[in-house]
Amino acid sequence: MTRPQTRFEASTLATSDAITDLTDQIMAFLSDHGVEDRATHHTALVLNEVLTNLGTHGGCRDRVAKIAVVVEPDTVKGEIVDAGPPFDPRSAPDPAFDVTPSERPIGGLGLHLVKKLSSDLEYTRRNDRNYTSFAISRRQSVE
Amino acid sequence: MEIHDEHVGDTWIVTAKGRLDGNASANFADHVGRLIESANPKLLIDFTGVDFVSSAGVWPCFYSAKRSNPPAGRSLSAACATQCGRYSISPTSHLCSAFIPRAEAIAAMGK
């Protein structure tokens, strides 16, 4: 079966350098396929945040994660498959927004952005791997 | 990312361009940290030229702000808002005290 040309696939470690390289690749791919700046930014940010969380809190910088991105007419869909400990990003608590920035504990923003910017955020655990998928609307919307 | 400093009055203005992610954050936080710890740490950071910022990139800035005296902390918060507003990401606006143009921020620093 021939894969559509609008699909991007990559394998990456969850290190800062590797995540930066992947972000470059994703943004170039989406731009080349005519995806709007906003959707390009949000897709790259969601992938960046999930991978950063995997490396920082999942202790899996040295284990390869697989990434797939598909461009569709109305959305960009993404999937991350990793071998980290079970973690459902939907269950992550939101940062404390009821205190001032100077009083706020560090952490929690990345996964909050993942939940806020994406739609159809899904998670399953199969064969000792996390499958996290999401969609980013290509239409300007209220965020 | 590119970082450029200029001194306007008694305020250091740091202009950042490029990408502020987990890979760039340590260098940027060190740079900002040195200015905050200087003798007169009035500091304004202009993120207008930053085209991508992740939580790993922005948190070191807030960490620096939390370590700093109140004037520097306020200026960092305002500067972060300037960048975060680019795509109207409302969650980040909760993190920032204001969304203000550069000239207005400079004027506010003098108060």
Per-residue pLDDT of chain A in tens (143 residues, 90 and over written 9): 555 569 999 999 999 999 999 999 999 999 999 999 889 999 999 999 999 999 988 888 889 999 999 999 999 999 999 999 999 999 988 777 666 655 666 667 889 889 989 999 999 999 999 999 999 999 875 45
- Of the candidates A92, A114, A98, which has an alpha carbon nearest to the alpha carbon of residue B95? A98
Q: What is the pLDDT of residue A14?
A: 93
HSE-up (13 A, CA, CB side) for residue B60: 18
Residue A56 identity (one-letter amino acid): T
Q: Which residue of A has its CA nearest to B61?
A: A106
Are A19 and B58 in contact (CB < 8 Å)?
no
Residue A85: C-alpha distances to residues A68, B87, B101 (Å): 20, 32, 44
Nearest chain A residue (CA) to B1:
A20
pLDDT of amino acid B31: 87
pLDDT of residue B83: 44
| DSSP state for residue A101 in the 8-state scheme | G
Tell me, what's the ipTM? 0.74
Query: Which tokens is B109 given?
Result: 């620093």
- Position B92 scores a pLDDT of 41
The residues of chain B scoring below 50 in pLDDT are 71-98
* Collapsed DSSP state (helix, strand, coil) of residue A34: coil
Q: What pLDDT is stored for residue B90 in this prediction? A: 39
Position A29 scores a pLDDT of 97
Cβ distance A106 to B19 less than 8 Å, yes or no, reads no
Scanning every residue of chain B, which has its alpha carbon at the shortest distance from the alpha carbon of A115?
A: B91
- Tokens 């620096």 label which residue? B64
Q: Indicate whether this model's pTM tops 0.90.
A: no
Chain B interface includes A25 (CB < 8 A): no
Going by their DSSP bridges, the two strands A129-137 and A75-82 should be labelled as: antiparallel
